[in-house]
Structure 1
């Protein structure tokens, strides 16, 4: 029996080299939390979450408290029963998505390390290199142009441009990115910033400029599934649902209303096992898959890369959350390719667990 002997949680602040600006607000620090699980055999698993209240609900301090409240649901249990543990933690407080993700990732990591297998094998595949985009946030056109040129020099083939502010400002930013990296594949993400009519106007502005994005992500508020469906009907680029989908039920609702072409499997919303369930719904509805991130370190990003390698068929990969971190806690330096390895998620972060 691989009994969980202890669970430890540690908040860690990672300053960003550049502010991360999106329609939901600006972040200058990655306020992350790490969870450490140790089993009776000495296997250690690490999990991570980076709460952002406009998306995940709880603050980082609240998520840390929620992990501590959930200790009795994890300690003393067999890590091989990870699915039951994760379900119990999530059922105990349905809104604690960040705390649940960090605990889940740590339990799954410990389980895999105990068996000397990569995390991807839990999801059906061997670890394979995963190519990611890089994000240009809500910056001026000049900054966007320079950022895009730097991305080209660094080997990134896909750029995700944050939008959702004024239509004119967003169009100018996208144009500047194309000027800075003319050969890039392009996606845009409004982070719920627009009404359906404004999103349509933006997409028509892109068309007028001869810009054909591969994806328009979550242009309207998360609870406006009807509005998302309206945008999908009226624009040419594929439309992705991100904040609108936290659960398989949400994915089913989006599919039934024909509200999106793509579902974002971001772990911060659903966790690893939940993301696999959402992927099953999306595939049954013939929807494409995307995976996104918050401002996680290599721990969370490599866990997500393992999921991508394990389930396969993820068309859009956005796992660049640590690009602006002022210090890297583990793993290779950020770049256009993540190369996940095992055992577990394969990252052993440099964290002081003394509290």
Structure 2
């Protein structure tokens, strides 16, 4: 293996098809970070982070600054020593999850490209297509139903519906979607917007309307682990944790407190190697796994898809971030199938 000769960082600004509203706020563009790592062999690895301040605690400006500072820790180092290097940058810049996801991805991408293996191979698997759901933001019932209809026409069989601003409005939105997508699997994501009482009310309304919900994701604030546990005890619908889990230690906590049925991991929260650790924890605890994303281009999405293919561990796949963008870094097809390739994550951005 060869030496890292250059780490470069730049802004990656991508417009969106339309504003994307969740209970934590509205995104009007993806203000992302692109990291490029080059080795002495001429191999180039690419990584991306998508900072969203209410979730990751970063802005694009802070993420760019931190990613740039990692150059002094990485240049001159052996690319094959990637685990030690990842631990080093994460110890130096704790909490800067989007910036370090971009750096970690670029490191592993360069390593795999040098060895001419897919990223999936690091996790014991092979390259194969991955199927994602489509996320429907907070819209009026009519707009949400129209979006769901288009998704079904384009082959999506799994829909994730954003909720959390007003539980009665949420119920009407989901009822409208169910009317046009009766055969689709429906998941809901409150992004911390409900109380336990509202979660119980929502679940009871779904039962009374005979609408089957596959899971309820992060209904209560991320620090309210006891609230997650109470919600899980109070409803029959599986409860998933998302924003409550960034680290393997967070995953251990929800396991010990019997707080959830499903753990939703995001590489943009935790990084690739830490997510592999969280996967092991969830499997040992006999919990289901979901993988999600931020507003990432094909770089971040394909990286996550390689982890899905490599581990074979995920019950739910929510990797549609690049489908919400008006433009991507590579040519893409609109639909539920993600065709990944290697070496590395297989994406060379055309930007």
Does 2:208 match 1:208?
yes
Tell me what 1:257 maps to: 257
Distance between the aligned counterparts of 1:103 and 1:331, measured in 2? 24
Provide the secondary structure at the position in 1 that maps to 2:223.
coil
Separation in structure 2 between the aligned mates of residue 64 and residue 334 of structure 1, nearest angstrom: 30
For 2:52, the equivalent position in structure 1 comes to 52
Provide the residue aligned with 2:109 in structure 1.
109
- CA contact under 8 A between 2:139 and 2:173: conserved in structure 1? yes
CA RMSD of aligned residues (A): 0.8
Bigger drift between 64-73 and 132-141 goes to 64-73
1:340 partner SS: coil
Describe how 1:270-285 pairs up with structure 2 within 5 A: 270-285=270-285
CA contact (8 A) 1:37 1:106 kept: yes
Secondary structure of the residue that 1:319 maps to in structure 2? coil
Q: Matched residues in 1 for 2:71 and 2:331: separation?
A: 28
Task: Give matches, 1:240-255, under 5 Å.
Answer: 240-255=240-255
Q: Equivalences for 1:136-175 in 2 at 5 Å?
A: 136-175=136-175
1:144 is displaced (CA, Å) by 0.6
Count residues with an aligned counterpart: 351
8 Å CA contact retained: 2:131, 2:336: yes
**Any conservation in 1 of the 2:279–2:313 contact (CA below 8 Å)?**
no
Contact 1:331 1:348 in 2 (8 A): no
Query: 2:86 matched to which residue of 1?
Result: 86
Deviation at 1:158, TM superposition (A): 0.3
Runs (4 or more) in structure 1 with deviation over 2 Å come to 331-334
TM-score normalised over the length of structure 2: 0.99
CA distance in 1, matches of 2:4, 2:196: 48
Structure 1 residue 324: Cα displacement: 2.3
How much has 1:313 moved relative to structure 2?
A: 2.0
Following the alignment from structure 1 to structure 2, what is the Cα–Cα distance between the partners of residues 58 and 188?
25
Alignment partner, residue 30 of structure 2: 30
**SS across alignment from 1:156:** coil
What is the CA deviation profile of residues 137-196 of structure 1, one whole-angstrom value per residue up to 9, with x for unaligned ones? 000000011011000100000000001011110001111111121110110000010111
Gaps (5+ residues) in structure 2?
A: none
Partner Cα separation in structure 2 for residue 129 and residue 68 of structure 1: 33
Would you say the 8 A contact 1:331–1:347 is kept in 2? no
Q: Distance in 1 between matches of 2:50 and 2:330?
A: 16
- Would you say the 8 A contact 2:228–2:260 is kept in 1? yes
* Residue deviations 1:74-103 (CA, integer Å, cap 9, x gap): 111111111111111111021111111000
After TM superposition, give the deviation of residue 295 of structure 1 in Å.
Answer: 0.6
TM-score scaled by length of structure 1? 0.97
| Displacement of 1:331 | 4.8
Aligned partners of 2:154 and 2:334 also within 8 Å: no
Q: Distance in 1 between matches of 2:44 and 2:286?
A: 38
**1:290 aligned counterpart, secondary structure:** strand
